[in-house]
Amino acid sequence: MNRIYLLPIIILLLIGCDSRLKKNGLEKEYYSPGQLRQATYFDHGKRQGISQEFYENGRIKAELTYQQDILHGPFRKYFSSGQVKTEGLYQNGSIEGDVKSYYDSGQLAAIIPYLNGQPHGVFKEYYKNGSVKVIGQYVDGRGEGEFTEYFPNGVIKSTAYYKENVIHGKREEFYVTGQIKRKEIFDQGQLDGVVHEYHLDGTLKRIEGFKQGQPHGLAKLYDKQGNLLSFWQYKDGLREGRGWDYYANGNWKTEANYKNGSLSGVLKEYYPNGQLKLKEFYVNGLRTGEAISYYDDGQLKGRATYLYGQVDGTSKVYDADTGQLKLTAEFAREKLEGDTKEFYEDGTLKRSSQYVDNKKHGPSLEYYPSGILKKEIIYREDKVVAQKQYDVNGRLLDEMAF
């Protein structure tokens, strides 16, 4: 029976202890002894009145107002310099009315209206010189309707339309002179339709089709004189079919064919004078077969053979002035393999080397223009193991082993 009577007493004692443990008055937190971090007033365990937060330099960082532990009243946030950064008003835990933001120099940076804790209504952003930077509108926290961006001189920089916080409809971009720079259409945040870009003088710069955010259809690029610089076709974001790049004089720069975004078939590159510069063949985006290059006067510059995108077989380089063979090399899957030879302008052998797995291996011979052996070096996996040197008459001058 005594235990039954003791229980209410124990409960009352616990309640009394809990009441005494509730915070009351000013509570302070510190970065370190003497360096205040936060100061908050409590009333029976609930925040009440102004709560302040401080930077380590001692300047105030933020001021919040509480009523019965709920944010209610003005708030401010500060730069470490002490200048106000943001200010507004809480009502029953939600931001209400205009929230103002400032630059660290004190100039107004933005005014955003709030309703029930969310941006709602027409907002404005400003440059430091006080001119309007952006005007737009929020509805229940989402961008809605026309958004206009301005240059510091007040000229419109861009206009766009939003629907439920996603860009939707026409968007236009302008130069600082007011001349149109770009026109485009968005559908639920994705480019859809034809994009037009313009040079500063108003002449057409680019026209390109888009579908669901990806290039689709024709894409053309023009210079200020109206000369076509490129003509390509796209399908679902990938280049498709035949296309060209052009020089300003109208001559072809590149001619190629694409399939599913990869080079397919013959690719040709040209010099500005119209002379063929390079001819290659591609399969599924990989160079295959013989690639031939030319100098701008039409002289043969080089030949190489490719297999699955890697140089494979004999490669040759020719002299620009004489047309003579200048260099030959043997490759196997992108690695030097076998003989490499270099020639003088008259076609006589200048140097020959042996390669195994992309490393010099075996004799490397160098000759005088007369054809007499000048130097002989023996390699083992790219390391010199022996060397001989001869004079112009073929007499041995020096011999070393390593």
pLDDT in tens, 182-219: 999 999 999 999 999 999 999 999 999 999 999 999 99
Q: Are 89 and 96 in contact (CB under 8 A)?
A: yes
What separation in angstroms does the CA of 11 have from each of 16, 17, 241?
9, 10, 86
pLDDT in tens, 339-362: 999 999 999 999 999 999 999 999
Residue 13 is predicted with a pLDDT of: 36
Q: Which of 86-90, 345-349, 391-395 has the highest mean pLDDT?
A: 86-90
Residue 1 is predicted with a pLDDT of: 38
pLDDT in tens, 269-299: 999 999 999 999 999 999 999 999 999 999 9
- Pairing status of strand 70-71 against strand 142-143: unpaired
Does residue 21 surpass a pLDDT of 80?
no
Does residue 15 surpass a pLDDT of 90?
no
Distance CA(34)–CA(37), nearest Å, equals 9
Partner residues linked to 253 by β-bridges: none
Mean pLDDT rounded to a whole number for the chain: 93
Distance CA(191)–CA(169), nearest Å, equals 9
Residue 402 is predicted with a pLDDT of: 84
Residue 212 is predicted with a pLDDT of: 96
Which SS3 state, helix, strand or coil, does residue 316 take?
A: strand
Residue 3 is predicted with a pLDDT of: 40
Does residue 14 surpass a pLDDT of 60?
no
Position 2 confidence tier, pLDDT thresholds 50, 70, 90:
very low
Distance CA(328)–CA(295), nearest Å, equals 18
Distance CA(186)–CA(162), nearest Å, equals 10
Partner residues linked to 219 by β-bridges: 208, 232
Mean pLDDT of 223-249: 96
Kindly tell me the burial class for residue 165, based on how many C-beta atoms sit within 10 Å of its own C-beta (0-12, 13-18, 19 or more). Answer: middle
Task: Reduce the secondary structure of 262-309 to three states and give it as a string.
Answer: EECEEEEEECCCCCEEEEEEEECCEECEEEEEECCCCCEEEEEEEECC
Residue 112 is predicted with a pLDDT of: 98
Residue 92 is predicted with a pLDDT of: 97
For the chain, domain boundaries: 22-95
Residue 216 is predicted with a pLDDT of: 97
Residue 22 is predicted with a pLDDT of: 80
Segment holding 179, helix H or strand E = none
The 10 Å Cβ neighbour count of residue 364 is 19
Tokens linked to 161? 């339309």
pLDDT in tens, 313-345: 999 999 999 999 999 999 999 999 999 999 999
Nearest to 257 by CA among 279, 276, 277, 236: 279
